[in-house]
Amino acid sequence: MDMEKIARLTRELLIEIGENPDREGLLKTPERVAESWSFLTSGYRSDMKTVINGAVFESEANNMILCRDIEMYSLCEHHMLPFFGSCTIGYIAKKKVIGVSKLARIVDHYSRRLQIQERLTAQIARAVMDSVDAEGVGVIIDARHMCMTMRGVGKQHSSMTTSSVLGSFHSNSATRTEFLNLAAK
């Protein structure tokens, strides 16, 4: 990322919207915005191998593993406004499990990009499935979208829930029901 270019473009944007980028409160804003964008879009510059960092372990576990309420923040690709909420990931291991913190890192990896929630949910599910060769995976994201609350229709209390189910979570209704029941607690 060219941080100087982003700062320069931010300065131009401030001028275009009628602000004075030379006033005291805005003097360092272009640089701060560039740093913010670097962080908020870091998912474009990371790779899954580094994210997981070898934290996949042999295990005899063949039960459902669930991590609930993983905080998630992203940017809507249509308006570049935030959406945020929580992510629940469940999977059934065959022979391998993943370190629990890596589930949160997978969420961050895909959410730190311009996104739509539907795709984000599917990407997380696929990454978990591929990482541990799981029997099945389920992912649920519940999020509030600032493009719905700050602008447009202005629906302050709206949220959107998406789910992605793969493998046995998709093909076996009892497995899917177990996941949904555990996720709801």
Enzyme catalytic residues? 76-79, 117, 145, 147
Q: Taking the chain, what is the end-to-end CA distance rounded to the nearest angstrom?
A: 41
CA dist 125 and 89 (Å) reads: 8
Token pair of 170 as six digits: 């998709």
Token pair of 94 as six digits: 């065959």
Residue 171: CB atoms within 10 A of its CB come to: 11
Quick check: 137 and 165 in contact, CB under 8 A? yes
Q: Which residue has the tokens 């320069």?
A: 8
Quick check: 166 and 123 in contact, CB under 8 A? no
CA dist 171 and 168 (Å) reads: 5
